[in-house]
Structures are given as C-alpha cells and as structure tokens.
Amino acid sequence: MPRRIDSDHKDFQDVYGGIRRKELKKYIKNGTIFRSRGKNGKIVVTIPKIDIPHIVYGDSDDGVGRGKAEKGDVIGKDPQKGDGKGKAGQDAGDGMDIAVDLEEVLKFMQEELELPDMKPKPGDTYDQVIKKYNNISLVGPESLRHNVRTLKQALKRQCSDGSIHKLHQIPGFANPVRLITPINSDKRYRQFSEIKLPSSNAVIFFARDGSGSMDQYKCDIVSDMSWWIDTWIRKFYDKVERVYVWHDTVAKEVDEKKFYKYRYGGGTTCSTALKLISKMFENRYNPIKWNIYLFYFTDGENWDNDNEVFCDVLEKEFGGNVVNMVGITQILPWQSENSLKQYVDDKCGNKNMRTTQIGSSSRQMSDEERDAQIKNSIIELLGRGSKKENYWANALG
Amino acid sequence: MNQNKFMLGSPVLMGDKTIPGVPMPEDLKRLLPEIFRKVSEFGCDFPPTVVEMLTYDEISEIAAYGGFPVRYPHWKWGMEYEELQRGYMHGMHRIYEMVVNTNPCYLYCLDSNTLLDNVTVVAHALGHADFFKNNIYFAQTSQNMMNELANHGTRIRRYMSRWGKERVTEFIDHVLRIETLIDPSKAWEPKRYKNNIPRDDRKHRHPDRLKVDEGRDYMDGYLNTEEWMREQHKKIDKMEAAEYLDLFVGSTKDIMGFIRDNAPLKTWESDIVSMIYEESMYFAPQRMTKVVNEGHASWVDYHIIARQGLAGLGQESDSSGIIEYAKHKMGVLGGKYSMNPYKLGFSLLCDIEERWDKGQFGSEWEYCENIKEKENWDKKLGLGKEKVFEVRKLYNDITLIMEFFTPEFCEKYEFFEWKKHPSGEYKIESKDPHKIKAKLVSRYMNGGLPEIRLVDPNHRGKGIMFLQHNWHGRALHEAYVGPVLESLRRLWKNDVCLATKNKGGKELIYRCKTDECIVDMVPREDYEG
C-alpha cells in the first residue's frame, strides 16, 4: 500500500535534487571544485542544509552546562577547528556534505565550463589494422570473384550493345532464351581495405620544474590542476598511463607522491625534462600506438640560454603528429617578462601547444582568486568545446 | 462508554490490530491495564488514551507529520522523514514514543523497544497526556486536531488541483517561513467572527488604458500590452494595500495574524494563511512548555517505575528491570556536561518535590540566615507531590525557571556557564547563579525564538511594514533573515524592514525592497538619512 509520506518524500527529493544541481554548478563555476579529489569515484561537496528558514537566533559562543567542573576547565573543543574545512554541521543553516558521482561532476563540467571532448590524434595512431573485404577490384584471383557484380557488369554491357536481345537455343529448353555471358573485362573481384582502429591508449606526462621557488603552495596548485586534467582526459580513453617527471638541471622520472611534494633542487634547465620524455617515445610510448599528452608546470624561471633549447626540442620532438596536446602552465612567476611562457609564446610555432599563467608576481592571491584562476587555466589548457548557442551567436553577430 | 472505568485501566480503547500498526505483543497487552491504573492512582488525570504499536517506518512517517496521520501535502514532511530514517539507519537516534495532544489521546510505541522500554514509555507518555490536559497554556488548544488537520489537508489538496501543485506549494513555502511570527496569547482573545457574507465595498478601480483612435480597435493589443496592464494592476494593488493600513493600532507580535487579515491576498491564499496560522497556534504552547512538559513526564515515569516498583513488571524478579530502566534514563537525561531541556525540567521538578516535602519554602525559609539550620531543614510536610502537580498545571518554561531556579538549586546540580574561546575550546566561565539564570531565561524566553514585533505597517506613509526585534544581546541568524523578509514581502506585496542590532549592539536595518525581493542590510543612521 503506498503511504502518504511517499509522495511528500518524493517532493522533497525533487527539491533536494534541484538544490544539489544548483550548488554543484556554483562549485564548478567558481572553481572551488578543483580543490577536492575524488575517492572511489565520488566527490564530496558541501551544500547548504535544506531547511525552512525562520527568524531565529544566530549561534552563540556561550551557554550553560552542568557537571562536576571548576572555573577555567576545558569542557570541549571544536572538532574541526584548524582543518580549514568550515564548521561542524550542528548550527542552523550550516551545510551538509554529500557525495556526488565523479561522472556527474564531469558531466556538469562539460556543461558549465564547455570543456572539449578529447579526440585521438589524427593520422597514424592506431592499435591494430583489420582487413575487411568491402571493396571491388578489376583484378584478382578467381577464388575471390564476385559473381553477382560480374553478372551485373555483363548485363550492362550486353544491354548497351544490344546483344542481350539475341536468342540462344539451349538444349533442354523448349524455347530459345536470352543469355548473359561475362567476358574477361566484366569480371569483378572482392578486394579488402585496411581499417586502422584509432588507439584508445593515452599517456599523460606531467612534468614540473623543481627549483627552490616551486614551494608547497605552488605544488598544491600543480596537484589540483593535474588531478582534474587527468580525470578529464581519462574520461575519453580506455587505458591511461601517467608519467611524472621532475627536473632541476637533470630530469628524472619520479612517482606521484614525490612529484607533488616540495623538493628543493639545484638550478633549472627546463629542456632536460622534454629530452627525457622524448626519449620515452622511442621504446615505451610509441607515438603510433599512444595518444600523448604533456603538461608542464613551471614558475617561468629558466637558465638564460635554455629557453632556446627548450623551444627547439618542443618544435622538433613534440609536433602535432607526435603529441596530441602540450600544455604549459606558469605559476606565480618571479618576473613576468622574459619568462619561459613569454618566450615560448613568441617563438614556438607548435599548433598543439597551449600556455597559461596563474597568479601575478606582485601579490599573494586570495583563495577565491586562486580557485578562479585554476579554473581559467584548465579551460585555457584544454580549450573550449563547441556549443550550439555559440554557433548561433556567432552566426547572428 | 464509562470514562472513569477506562481511566482505571480498562483496555477497551487499546489500539490492537489497527491499521497502520502491528499487533500489540501479548505480554505488554497484559501489563497495560496495570500501568494505566498505577498512573491514575498516582494522581495523573489523562484523557482516554489509545495505545498503538508501530514499526519504525510507520512511527517515523507519523513523527514526520508531527504526530498526525493526515496533513497537507508538502515536501517538508518528506525532509523530516528522511532525517529520521537516516538517523535511525546510522544508529544516531531513534524515537521511542510519540504522544499526540488530542482527545482521545494517541500514544505510539515502537515495536522494537524492549518490554521494559515500552512500559516506561507508556508511563512517560501518560505523564505527557496528563500535562496536555491540565496545563493552563493548553487550555485553548483544540482537542479535535486530528480531524481539523485532515480537513486542512483536504482543502489544500483541493487548491492544488485547482491552481496547480507548484503554485500552491510555493505559496505555502512562503507562509511557512513566517509561521513563528505569532502571538500565542492571542488564543485567549475572544474570536471575532466576521460577517461571513463576503462583500467587497472597496471602490472598484480600473487600470489605466491608453486610448486608441476611433475605428482602430485593432491597435489596442499593441498599445495596452500585457506588461503595461500588469504594471497598472500592480499600482492598483499597492494603492489598495495602502488603504488598508489605516486600521493599524499599536505594536503586535502577531505578524502572521496581521498578514492574514490585512495583506492583499486572494481568497485561496488567505485561506491557506489562516490554516497554517491555526496549526502554528496549536503547536505554540508545546514550544513554550518544553522543559516543564518533559520534566513532568520524566518525573511521572520515574515515580511509577522506580519508586513504585513497576520495573519488575513482566521481568524475572521485582528488581531486575531497574538497571535497564536506569540505562534508558541515562540515554535520555545523561551526557557529561550536557544540558538538555529534559534534564533541566526533571531536576527542577525533583528539587521542587524535595523542597516542599521538607517545607523549604515561604518567608521563614527565605529569611533564615543560619546555614547549618538550612542544611538540616526538614519539617516533614510531605507536600512535594501536590506542589509538582500544581506546577504542571500553572507554569510554563519561563515562569518555572524564574521561580524555582534558586542559587541553592544551581549549586546542588552543578550548573556552570561556558564560553567558546577563539582557539575553539569551550571553557567554563563562571558558576555565578544569577548569570546562569539570566542565560537560561534568555534562552527559553518567547519559546526560544527572537521576539519580533510589528511596530508600523504604514511606515513613512508608504505602506512599508516595519518590524522591530526586541534585542537582548543575541544577534539574529543572518542567513535566515533575508529569506523570511523576502517571503513577508511577497505576502505583504510591499517593502518590509526589520530593525535589529548585531552582537556589539550596533543598530541595523534589514530591508527588502524592489520586486526582485533583494534584502540588504544598512546601519540605522544610513536608513534614516
């Protein structure tokens, strides 16, 4: 028997769903979402508690209790103070945490930020070649002869030269009949064509500059960005591998944990990272079989003559037919002129390359600013997908 | 049916095999008459009571509806239901029992309770029923609310099918936000029945129309567009609202009642406002008597189970249930340093009982200076029980605390006041009984809600509704003021202002103007200027 509460419960869930959707969009729009990481395919988001507002008192920081205690005793502690996660959810109007499927978040991202679909590299990237007999040829072995097509051809020929009307007396038939007789030039043979299946393997190279100025704050930005870029790309490929490269004057491959941790290195030679990665193309990640993405994070400080080398390697080894996308992010640069980004923007002609910059050199960013900049940088790196409204706006405007 | 016989424990009205619900377990069924008899012998005077046994699903459905099986459709019931279900699923809380203030009184027990829990719960609930029947603040509440609420449900369902569910729900959302802005004492005012022949004696106003040249009637739709006409109608609405305002005299707490009587509402809208107003008035006394009500019920079950030895009912031996009872009580009243209304009320009533038993009252006691003598004061008057029953009849939370929260009580039950320090630590500030009492009083004043008064519905002669918060040192919850004022503006159809102070005592005005209902906050000086 359906209960009365069921319909009210459903109404509530509709209300809840609406608020959840709205909040999630807000989260994505102002970039706060990029602070969180998914766990088991879920993202935890704080949404305001659903309530019917009344005029009530705000939370007070004093009260009355009872028990054996003396003046000055500590009777309790804010559990989450100092975590930077906000207050506990006991006061009126505070938020509650809900888990949202990562899939759903990505869907909203597509809608809100218009992130593009990742496409396999055009050209020679394929997993395997399949032979499929879906074509016709004039020559071939008799065993592959296509009888129907051959007879059709013969019929066409005979119709055009009129020989189809000629009657033949065939033994066994009472009346004379018309005959279709293929000759050599009528013969058609089955022919295979090669189909190259586009590869659904991708490898993402995350590389970062390990100079002393890349402190934990910047590493966190790197971490926030690369986690979400990684998540986005993984949406489009079956198999995704990640390689982390860290460099000072020499580059080396490190694991994920080490990559995000602040480590002080010697000088800075950015090109070494690119050289190391390009070496991997030869045996580990053959560009023919792999879609390759490279994201490089730096604070823009490079050794003087190395910018040239960097650009050179980029043009030679990371062209559009080798690498799907190169993204270069410059975080909180020491000096914005003469930085790596500037040089690369000016000199490098790679079409598959995008650069972006987070923060300004003059001052520290507020948290909101940081989130918004990370959002913008991710959009700048991945690009915008097309939207129908945009098309019409362009067409009309 | 002979009511007296029932109150002595006749099981006639027991809700066995009713729908919804599960059959009453045999052992509890046998014990019920005994409990009923004991409680009424103890001195409780409760209305006929129907006991029903429910599963958790059913009890949370009923609890979500505030104890009534049929209410109007609204998502807030679903919200409460979900909260209860989730709390139960995660083992955070559960409802042991529910009592509904009606005649006959309905009492719902949970089928997963143990036998002793259920015995306790029945005794406790009969304490509530006794309170509902006798406490003076409940004298004006309707005893037939079960039917009235069901009727409200029918009426609102009808409006929903007439005007659309979404539209009606949206309107109810707005009304619910102001449901606390009522004056419970209005229940004692004699009801004025209005002339029930609806007569519209306002001058009928026609919206201004732009003139169309003769013979060009087809131009009318272009000149007098829908938008233009809507604007004209709005102007008329405003003018008519302003006309009403002359009726207002003096300040009132009863803002919702004022809205019902004076706001320019459609017939169905004002009907909905009046229904929700009635429901809110019905529940208001419960908000004002939380401490004394729970205290009384706990005091009753404590006497019945522990003092009169009912803990042995249905158990192996007479004393075997007492530990479990103590555990159950701990769950309700316990918690280190905690201070819930159950505990406060229960201790206050126990203290009153002890004092009146020993004769520790009156001027002789008040003026006694000898500490030694005061400690051993015992006149063996034995008036405690009588006094507690008097308290349950005449007091609400605020009067109870005002009168019986004495310095001796404060010291004996180890009260203290705490303060939150910036480090996030809660530290004990002092044990000064006067300060503590002041804090308690301010917490239970006006049912624990801020006192908002309507001081001028025609502020500045522009029909602005001006509200004043009676500030006692605590600031309002800012995030909620905006939405409430927005709703008020939608109902009032004109600007609404609320004057209050922030924590530091600085005067602020929240104002809701413009059609988009945007609330902003300005200091008083700016508003005046």
Tell me the HSE value of A283 on the side-chain side, using a 13 A CA sphere: 2
Q: Convert the pLDDT of each residue in A233-253 to its tens digit.
A: 888 888 888 889 888 888 888
Residue of A55, A57, A91 for testing the chain B interface, max B β-carbons within 10 Å: A55
Flag whether pLDDT at B184 surpasses 50: yes
Average pLDDT over residues B137-143: 86
Nearest CA in chain B to A64: B417
DSSP states of B75-97: HHHHHHHHHHHHHHHTTS----E
CA–centroid distance for B152 within its chain: 19
ipTM: 0.74
Neighbours of B471 (CB within 10 A): 17
pLDDT at position A349 over 80: no
In this prediction, residue B44 carries a pLDDT of 87
Give the rounded percent of residues in chain B with a pLDDT score beyond 70: 87
Q: Which of A78-92, A193-207, A377-391 has the highest mean pLDDT?
A: A193-207
Mean of pLDDT values over A278-287 = 83
E strands present in B202-354: none
**pLDDT greater than 80 at residue A379:** yes
CB A268 within 8 A of CB A248: yes
Residue A331's H or E segment, with its range, is strand A325-331
Q: How confident is the model at residue B316 (pLDDT cuts 50, 70, 90)?
A: low
Q: Tell me the mean pLDDT in the region B11-19.
A: 42
Residues near A83 by Cβ (< 8 Å), separated by ≥ 6? none
pLDDT digits (tens, 9 = 90+) for B418-434: 888 877 778 888 888 88
What pLDDT, on the 0 to 100 scale, is given for residue B10? 36
Q: What is the pLDDT of residue B3?
A: 39
- B337 and A65 in contact by Cβ < 8 A? yes
- Of all residues in chain B, the one with the smallest CA distance to A9 is B78
Q: Give B158's pLDDT tier (boundaries 50, 70, 90).
A: very high
**Residue A147 exposure: Cα atoms within 13 Å on the Cβ side:** 1
Q: Is B70 in contact with A4 (Cβ distance < 8 A)? A: yes
Q: Does A62 touch chain B (CB under 8 A)?
A: yes
Let me know: does B116 contact B324? Beta carbons within 8 Å: yes
Inter-chain touch A60–B474, beta carbons under 8 Å: yes
In angstroms, the CA B470 to CA B453 distance is 7
Report helix angle B397-404 to B290-301, nearest 10: 70
Q: List the single residue in A15, A53, A75 with the smallest CB-CB distance to B484.
A: A53
- Measuring CA to CA, which residue among A186, A270, A207, A202 is closest to residue A238? A202
A75 reaches B (C-beta below 8 A): yes
- Using CA atoms, how far apart are residues B304 and B386, in angstroms rounded to an integer? 16
Q: Any chain A CB within 8 A of the CB of B237?
A: no
Where in the sequence of chain A do the CATH 3.40.50.410 domains occur?
200-393
Q: Give CA–CA dist A18/A12, Å, rounded.
A: 10
Average pLDDT, chain A: 79
Among A340-349, B84-93, B403-412, the range with the most confident prediction by mean pLDDT is: B403-412
State residue A222's pLDDT score: 85
pLDDT band at B89 (very low <50, low <70, confident <90, very high): confident
List pLDDT tens digits, range B243-291.
666 655 567 888 999 899 888 899 999 999 999 999 999 999 988 898 9
d(CA B15, CA B13): 6
Mean per-residue pLDDT, A343-363:
74
Q: What are phi and psi of A140, to 5 degrees?
A: 160, 175
8 Å CB contact of B78 and A8: yes
Inter-chain touch B337–A69, beta carbons under 8 Å: yes
Confidence of residue B175 (pLDDT cuts 50, 70, 90): very high
The residues near B177 (Cβ < 8 Å, ≥ 6 apart) are A52, A53, A54, B483, B484, B487, B488
Across A50-59, A91-100, A148-157, B113-122, the highest mean pLDDT is recorded for A148-157
* Closest residue to B477, CB basis, from A4, A56, A68: A56
Average pLDDT over residues B340-367: 85
Q: Is B104 in CB contact (< 8 Å) with chain A? A: no
Q: What's the gap in Å between the CA of A60 and the closest CA on chain B?
A: 7
pLDDT of residue A158: 92
CB contact under 8 A, B428 and A75: yes
Pick the range with the lowest mean pLDDT from A119-123, B71-75, B128-132: A119-123
pLDDT band at A318 (very low <50, low <70, confident <90, very high): confident
Q: Which of A87-101, A209-223, B34-48 has the lowest mean pLDDT?
A: A87-101
The pLDDT, as a whole number, for residue A352 is: 77
Chains A, B: CB contacts within 8 A come to: 172
Residues A239 and A200: their CA atoms lie apart, in Å, by 7
By CA distance, what is A49's nearest residue in B?
B79
Query: Is the CB of residue B323 less than 8 Å from the CB of residue B176?
Result: no
pTM of the model: 0.72
Which of A53, A55, A75 is opposite residue B418, by nearest beta carbon? A75
Question: Which pLDDT does position B313 carry in this prediction?
Answer: 64
Has residue A38 got a pLDDT over 60? yes
| B475 contacts A70? CB cut-off 8 A | no
Interface of B with A in 174-193 (CB under 8 A): 176-181
Of 3.30.2130.10, 3.40.50.410, 3.30.390.10, 3.30.470.30, which CATH number belongs to A200-393?
Answer: 3.40.50.410
Mean pLDDT of chain B: 82
What pLDDT sits at residue B247? 54
What does the pLDDT look like over A94-131, one tens digit per residue?
677 778 888 888 888 887 777 777 777 766 666 677 88
pLDDT of residue B232: 87
Amino acid at B88: Y
- Shortest alpha-carbon distance between residue A87 and chain B (Å): 11
Q: Quick one: average pLDDT of B73-80?
A: 91
